[in-house]
Structure 1
Amino acid sequence: MRSSSSFYLSRLDHLRFVAAALVVLFHYLHAFVGQVQPINPLAIVVSEGHMGIGLFMVLSGFIFAVLCAGKSVDYKLFLFNRFVRIYPLYIFAVVLAVTLMVYQKQINYNVFDIFQWLLLFRPSSISDLPQFSHLWTIPVEFSFYLLFPFFHQFYKKYGARYFIGMIGLLLLLRAGIYLEYGTVRYVAYETLFGRLDQFLIGYLAACCYLAPAARRRFSRPWMLALACGLVFYVIHWLNRHGGGANVEAGWWIVWPTVEALAWAALVLAYLCQRWSLPVWADRLLAQGGVLSFSLYVCHPWVISVLAPRVGVLPLGLGELGDNILTGVLVALPASLFLAWTLNRLIEKPFLEFRRSYLLPQV
């Protein structure tokens, strides 16, 4: 995590890479198989790798809370920084998507259809090109940016009880939606009303991290093992209850909150550990985190090219094992190469326009 300030935690970049890699392997697996309930623990994690999105959301709240602790935020400069961080690559992807839809699929759009992609709602045309349907997360993420400076002020004024109340309100809203419509999966999974829990819980996790007593508690090695076990249990539970395909389940009311709590525990436990990785491993994983946004944006395009041409390599590990290892050996490295190119040519030049948005505490 490297921002316009000088603060840096390489372990946050490790987790960002893990989140992006989970999504890549998930999409490669499901390019060949539908919803599965494997026995192998690694296969269970990859089969529900979409949960990497939840980890991204928790990390967003965590990162901003740590960066802005004890400071006030200049709203305009904050949004400007987020715009130059997200929109250059996002607009590149949107223009490419619209171009392909018009010239390769002969689907014509008017100006309003195109403008929808740049707003804070899921565009109606997003399903017309599968290589870019995952971009629904970008408007949700940018909604966090619009709200964060206000939540930051509210936390300073009202404390954690305000965030807990907001999470409670979101739970009530999702319960009402479920009672009215018989399903709340899409609201819980794809909209601000499901993902905001995760951002707020990430913020609260950062407040724990900044408290020395809490940091000492989470620094114990068994806490990391416990957090990993909790995350796996949550993933296993989701998989055994139909995963993301179970759109009519009532548990979607609480799922975003439960998922966020598990990820927040892992974030805290990992960041607070006192042991260190070898320098080469730390730098390699951190570089993966630097590329995580580009990796997320570009990987479905890479998979759409590779999947029908490479398929699943016969590696002797069974259908799911071969699929996952092919993803690790082929899809992930290829996606990382394209992500590195996009980062160098599109992301990085625009990041030089960032300015400090932190103000002294008043």
Structure 2
Amino acid sequence: MTPRLGAYVIGLDHLRAFAAVMVFSWHGLHQLGVPFGTVPNSWIASLMEEGWIGVSLFITITGFVFTIQTHGKKIEYFAFLKNRFLRLVPLIFLVTLYAVNVEGKSNQSLFLFFGLLGGGTVYGTWTLIVEFQFYAAYPFLRERLVFDSVTKTIGCCGLLLLFLTVLRVACFSTMGSAQNLAYWTIFGQGDAFIAGILAGLMFLHLRDHPPRSGTIVYVTSIAVSFTGIVCAAHWFNAFGGFYNQAFHPSRSVVWIFWPTIIAVLWASTLVFYCLLTLQRRDRLTRSIAYLGTISYSTYMLHFITLGLSDKVYRKFVDVRFFDADIWNSTAILLLFHYPITIAMSAISYEIIEKAFLQYRVPYLTERNPSSIQTDKVSPMAVAA
């Protein structure tokens, strides 16, 4: 089940693009004035209205990528961290510098790990702090989570999931709420990362041992898992969503188990979608994949471009597409705001991100003998 190093799994970038659109819609819809209590008639629309669950998809993808990229190999820890640093920090610094100078944010925000002490980050950089915690821990955790035995691997991953769940229970019993811990920290998002690891191992097995009528199996599995995501998002939306519950942070016990539920659903969708699209290379799939390639810039810049786009739209366009606020706002976001954000993201990726990514180094060695690979660094390995 050794992965083909350098192989490109195009479905990963499709799902990165989808996660970015979800988060973009979550921030954009409410910035345009859609109330947090809005419950769309269309269940699919709840995915956009509760687009914060896209963060869990991003983190599930990270666990998935690391697993299929490093399976059967030894990780050179500091080379691995160097690549992660080159991937994340330039844009974090740029966006934070912008926030400090333009919006008067505290200069304490320049300290990357200040979020560990609470606050101190700008825009959505809290997610990147959580991601970097996974980066720092993964090479060590992998040795205690991934084994030749499937039973042992599932058992150890299950124990870690149980450990995180108990911590959320403890938080709930102490503070009366588990929402902040479950969403904003590694103690909740860790479920998504672990689910991504298991999904990666499942992908490797099914890629090398495809089932009979594989396409039918994959399409059916995607339909079931994605339907589960849509139903979960709509139910959560009707339940009050992220902000519109009786208390905030929520006092519901749902937050103890929500990270596990959404992680399993995303992981299931991820593994089967990547298998289904593994051989696709037509123009449409490559175009969608590019949106995933630049999704990090999209995530980082949309906090800035949304405000600018809205002012330009209201001054020069100001067309109403639908009577219903949520559908009208969705149309404005996708037809006007999103293209502007994508254009800025493409510039950011091609000029800023790539300027640093070219200095990535190989970080995988053969377990026996120990010799660093000379293969070109896989784009999959650094895109998480």
Report how far residue 120 of structure 1 moved: 5.3
- 2:236 equivalent in structure 1: 238
Alpha-carbon separation, structure 2, partners of 1:84 and 1:274: 29
Q: Secondary structure at the match of 2:116?
A: coil
Q: Which region of structure 1 is more displaced relative to structure 2, 339-348 or 36-45? A: 36-45
Q: Is the 8 A contact 2:221 2:272 kept in 1?
A: yes
* Distance of aligned partners of 1:313 and 1:161 in 2 relative to their CA distance in 1, 3 Å threshold: farther
Q: Secondary structure at the match of 1:159?
A: helix
Corresponding position: 1:175 with 2:177: no
Letter aligned with residue 261 of structure 2:
V
- 1:129 equivalent in structure 2: none
Deviations along 1:265-319, whole A, 9 cap, x unmatched? 1112211226865711111111001100000000011111222442574113522
* Distance of aligned partners of 1:305 and 1:352 in 2 relative to their CA distance in 1, 3 Å threshold: same
Report how far residue 174 of structure 1 moved: 0.2
Deviations along 1:111-169, whole A, 9 cap, x unmatched? xx24544445265344xxxxx43211110011010011012211245523221111100
* Distance of aligned partners of 1:108 and 1:263 in 2 relative to their CA distance in 1, 3 Å threshold: closer
Q: Is the 8 A contact 1:25 1:324 kept in 2?
A: yes
Q: Secondary structure at the match of 1:281?
A: helix
Alpha-carbon separation, structure 2, partners of 1:275 and 1:6: 14
- 2:82 equivalent in structure 1: 80
Alpha-carbon separation, structure 2, partners of 1:177 and 1:214: 42
Q: What are the equivalent positions in structure 2 for 1:317-356 lying under 5 Å apart? A: 318-356=324-362
Q: Which region of structure 1 is more displaced relative to structure 2, 180-189 or 37-46? A: 37-46
Letter aligned with residue 178 of structure 1:
F
Give the CA RMSD over aligned residues.
2.2
- 2:365 equivalent in structure 1: 359
Q: Is the 8 A contact 1:215 1:272 kept in 2?
A: no
- 1:100 equivalent in structure 2: 102
Corresponding position: 1:30 with 2:30: yes
Alpha-carbon separation, structure 2, partners of 1:61 and 1:108: 32
Q: Secondary structure at the match of 1:15?
A: helix
Letter aligned with residue 360 of structure 1:
E
Task: Figure out how many residues of one structure are paired with residues of the other and give that number.
Answer: 347
Letter aligned with residue 175 of structure 2:
Y
Corresponding position: 1:69 with 2:71: yes
* Distance of aligned partners of 1:300 and 1:313 in 2 relative to their CA distance in 1, 3 Å threshold: farther
- 1:146 equivalent in structure 2: 136
Determine what percentage of the aligned residue pairs are the same residue.
27
Alpha-carbon separation, structure 2, partners of 1:163 and 1:101: 42
Alpha-carbon separation, structure 2, partners of 1:275 and 1:343: 24
TM-score, structure 1 normalization: 0.90
* Distance of aligned partners of 1:289 and 1:122 in 2 relative to their CA distance in 1, 3 Å threshold: farther
* Distance of aligned partners of 1:45 and 1:81 in 2 relative to their CA distance in 1, 3 Å threshold: same
* Distance of aligned partners of 1:361 and 1:275 in 2 relative to their CA distance in 1, 3 Å threshold: closer
- 1:252 equivalent in structure 2: 255
Q: Is the 8 A contact 1:154 1:162 kept in 2?
A: yes
Letter aligned with residue 293 of structure 2:
V
Q: Secondary structure at the match of 2:211?
A: helix
Q: Is the 8 A contact 1:120 1:143 kept in 2?
A: no
Q: Which residue of 57, 60, 64 maps to 1:58?
A: 60
* Distance of aligned partners of 1:37 and 1:122 in 2 relative to their CA distance in 1, 3 Å threshold: farther
Alpha-carbon separation, structure 2, partners of 1:275 and 1:209: 11
* Distance of aligned partners of 1:184 and 1:66 in 2 relative to their CA distance in 1, 3 Å threshold: same
Corresponding position: 1:286 with 2:285: no
